[in-house]
Structure 1
Amino acid sequence: MTLEYVAGSVPVESLAITVQDENGNARTLSAYSSASLLVSGPDGVLRVGGTAAITDAANGLVTFTWPSTSLFDVPGDYRIALKLMSGSGADYTTPIRVVATRGLEG
């Protein structure tokens, strides 16, 4: 899966991510207390901001609300992954590729 955004943009709509098991079925997230979205830029540096929340644990749904400044500051290939946390540790989802393209305005 690949997502595409324009570099410098701040999406208005939240990003809904369904965590799936190895068979493509929604994975229950009831064992987790919180989530965060990790964003790695073309330079390998993690970008921070925004808020992730487990919004439907039974159906594996995590919703990410974008920060007020862009996480995609330059054109290039980014990677995003969820960090799912519980009292005993954390699990990470397989990274998703995000392409930030140069916009028509600059």
Structure 2
Amino acid sequence: MTLEFVAGSVPVEALVLTIKDEIGNARSLSAYTGATVLVSGPDGVLRTGGTAAITDAANGKVTFTWPATTLFDVPGDYRLALKLSNGTAADYTTPQRIIVVEGLEG
């Protein structure tokens, strides 16, 4: 998965992610009680904000509601990963690439 956004974007629609296993099947998330989205910018700094929730554990679905301010302050390559936790331990998904481009107004 590679997403593309314009610098300064504040997406309106939630992002629904499906976590898959090594062979491409939806992975059950029933062992987890929480999810956090981690976004790293081109400078390596972690951007924070928004909320993530496991919305369909049986089918590996996590819904991320974007924050009210942009996570994409400058153009460049970003990475998005999920931290899935159960209160005492955590697993992380493989980071996915986000390309952020300069807008026509910028």
Q: TM-score range by the shorter chain?
A: over 0.9
Distance 1:82 1:23 in 2: 19
1:4 corresponds to which residue? Answer: 4
2:90 corresponds to which residue? Answer: 90
CA drift at 1:69 = 0.3
User: Structure 2 counterpart of 1:55, which letter?
Assistant: T
CA drift at 1:28 = 0.2
| Aligned sequence identity (%) | 75
1:32 corresponds to which residue? Answer: 32
Distance 2:87 2:102 in 1: 41
User: Structure 2 counterpart of 1:105, which letter?
Assistant: E
2:103 corresponds to which residue? Answer: 103
CA drift at 1:88 = 2.9
CA drift at 1:87 = 2.7
Write out aligned runs for 1:16-55 (5 A): 16-55=16-55
User: Which stretches in structure 1 are left out of the alignment for 5+ residues?
Assistant: none
Count of aligned pairs between the two proteins: 106
CA drift at 1:81 = 0.1
User: Which stretches in structure 2 are left out of the alignment for 5+ residues?
Assistant: none
Alignment root-mean-square deviation, CA: 0.5
Distance 1:28 1:100 in 2: 31
